[in-house]
Copies of this chain bind each other. A is one copy, B any other.
């Protein structure tokens, strides 16, 4: 417990934890203050995500390579998953899909571009292992393409018959989870050397917690994220109206940035230490995980938790953005070299997307 407090004192990001009780207090006293609740829930999720990330890594270190890798791989995007599950239970499928699409785009454009920019501001030209980067960008592209087939075919066909798209989405979800399982076997079982260096680098940065503390933190913080997410999902619609933001913007940009805050901290730190392999691995790996694991799990969960089955048919603009994001990631990591301006360009594409969603008429969602 002392270690938990030490960690909190050392890491200014965790001071935001004060917003967690503040949120619950406001929720009890002023349940109608939607915009305030929205803002507080966003601020409260950031430190919880950081704690979750640290707890997951600590458990992973203690339980050894194979189990640890499995935990890291499945719980790495736990925050996004818990938020999306809260939205799923409330039947807010537009928000769920926007946050899936947004997480892929944010990881592969914002996290990658900001890593290149931050690294490039300190180092003239940065080199990284381009074979690994290409492999990861290839996985991300294939994962995204598979995820987008129902939208592409359903949309292109004009006849987006819901029964067809729903059963296609279910079959696809099963296929993706099988592919994800095989991917875990690949990275942890048969070819661990490909991702070894990146994972090793991450561990040495912070001392891991003891297993007991880590497990308790993991359970407790996941519960807190779930509770905060409830408030977030309840307040987001009214708050978006008040703030003049479309729901697409909130799901795509705000949820994705908040959910990925902890991973971004690691990726940016790696970039500034001239270890772009680490940054590229986190950014592309996290995006692949959303496509191959989080998205299909949400489809399957919708059969249990949601009012109706959720399909994987996305709004056409989101399809275009996901495709562009993964192709951009593939192109810029192709050379194995980076300089600050590459980061600026990748961030420009992200800003264009954000601006588009911000300006989009509300009904366009």
A interface vs B, CB < 8 Å? Answer: 124-125, 131, 134-135, 137-139, 141-143, 145-146, 149-150, 152-153, 156-157, 159, 161, 164, 167-168, 171-172, 175-176, 179, 182-183, 186, 190-191, 194, 315-317, 319-321, 324, 327-328, 330-332, 334-335, 337, 339-342, 344-346, 348-349, 351-353, 355-356, 359-361, 363-364
**CA gap between A280 and B15 in the complex, in Å:** 52
Say yes or no: B164 contacts A124, CB within 8 Å: no
- Is there contact, CB below 8 Å, between B359 and A164? yes
Q: List 18 A-B contacts (CB under 8 A).
A: A124-B190, A138-B334, A142-B331, A142-B332, A142-B346, A142-B348, A143-B345, A156-B317, A159-B364, A161-B361, A168-B356, A171-B359, A172-B355, A175-B351, A179-B344, A182-B341, A182-B344, A183-B341
Tell me, rounded to whole Å, the shortest Cβ–Cβ distance linking A266 to chain B.
25
Q: Report Cα–Cα, A331/B168, bound state, in Å.
A: 26
The answer to whether A352 touches B146 (Cβ under 8 A) is yes
Known: A137-B331, A153-B321. 19 other contacts (CB 8 A): A134-B334, A135-B342, A138-B342, A138-B345, A139-B345, A141-B328, A142-B345, A142-B348, A146-B348, A153-B360, A161-B361, A164-B359, A175-B348, A175-B352, A179-B345, A179-B348, A182-B344, A186-B341, A191-B339
Contact B150 A356 (CB under 8 A): yes
